[in-house]
């Protein structure tokens, strides 16, 4: 198997499992229910947030953070849910690979490619929302400089990784054509695992930094320690 191309190894696995009459498990319905449920909850939460800020807050207007999270939901969040349901689960997510048709494999990879891009944009916008929210409530000169630096970093980091994901294979179509077991397409991709680990490591570091910034301000508040703990827990919950 070590000398086989990916399509050949994949074809051998499918042939083996099919010949042995290995049952095909199908959990696609569970994935769809989970996606619809979480998507509905997220939509309701964002709607409540926007309506409260617009109608019941003291300023009765939306801040930059509200606009960013609304755009993230409408332009990227809801399309992600649709892609998961009508793209990924419709073409094999939740099923054993030997139960799929050859056309499903390339279609699944194509939709997964789209999901990668949507996911990175969503994560960038969510973290950008947090930084903009902190800018709205913290007025210290140093912390605001840090937060503006984070805003610039989020945008630059997001653009860099989105571009990297888009052009991770040459040609781009090789990303999904490499799963075509009917042929051996020519092309190459970067080390996707290394790219994924790099993105995850930087993302985790940024998450801890986004938690550390508000916590550093909580200790400066002229409040009883119990209220400080409550404020810290609120920021931790929001960041998580």
What's the confidence (pLDDT) of residue 44?
Answer: 96
Segment 21-43 shows an average pLDDT of 91
Neighbours of 68 (CB within 10 A): 19
What's the confidence (pLDDT) of residue 148?
Answer: 94
Least confident of 52-56, 75-79, 130-134: 52-56
> What does pTM read for this prediction?
0.85
Segment 65-78 shows an average pLDDT of 93
Examine the pLDDT at 6 and tell me if it is beyond 70: no
Domain segments of the chain as ranges: 6-190
Nearest-CA neighbor of 39 among 88, 95, 83, 87?
A: 83
Instruction: List pLDDT tens digits, range 189-225.
Output: 888 888 888 888 988 898 888 888 888 877 777 666 6
- Across the chain, mean pLDDT equals 86
Percent of the chain with pLDDT over 70: 90
Give the confidence band of 240 by pLDDT, cuts at 50, 70, 90.
low
What's the confidence (pLDDT) of residue 2?
Answer: 52
Instruction: List pLDDT tens digits, range 80-126.
Output: 999 999 999 999 898 887 777 778 889 999 999 999 999 999 999 99
Instruction: List pLDDT tens digits, range 150-168.
Output: 999 999 999 999 999 999 9
Higher-confidence position of 6 and 155: 155
Q: How far apart are CA 113 and CA 83, in angstroms?
A: 11
What's the confidence (pLDDT) of residue 239?
Answer: 58
Examine the pLDDT at 1 and tell me if it is beyond 60: no
Higher-confidence position of 4 and 102: 102
């Amino acid at each position: 198997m070590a000398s086989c191309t990916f399509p050949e190894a994949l074809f051998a696995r499918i042939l083996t499992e099919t010949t042995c009459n290995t049952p095909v498990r199908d959990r696609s319905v569970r994935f769809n229910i989970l996606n619809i449920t979480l998507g509905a909850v997220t939509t309701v939460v964002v709607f409540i947030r926007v309506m409260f800020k617009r109608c019941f807050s003291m300023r009765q207007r939306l801040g930059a953070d509200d606009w960013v999270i609304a755009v993230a939901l409408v332009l990227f969040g809801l399309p992600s849910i649709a892609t998961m349901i009508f793209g990924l689960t419709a073409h094999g997510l939740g099923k054993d690979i030997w139960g799929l048709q050859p056309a499903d494999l390339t279609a699944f990879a194509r939709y997964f490619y789209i999901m990668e891009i949507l996911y990175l944009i969503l994560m960038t916008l969510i973290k950008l929302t947090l930084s903009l929210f902190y800018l709205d409530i913290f007025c210290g000169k140093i912390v605001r400089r840090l937060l503006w630096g984070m805003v610039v970093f989020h945008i630059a980091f997001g653009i860099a990784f989105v571009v990297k994901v888009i052009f991770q294979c040459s040609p781009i179509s090789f990303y999904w054509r490499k799963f075509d077991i009917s042929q051996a397409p020519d092309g190459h991709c970067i080390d996707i695992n290394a790219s994924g680990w790099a993105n995850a490591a930087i993302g985790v570091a940024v998450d801890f930094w986004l938690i550390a910034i508000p916590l550093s301000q909580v200790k400066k508040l002229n409040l009883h320690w119990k209220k400080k703990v409550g404020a810290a827990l609120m920021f931790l919950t929001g960041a998580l």
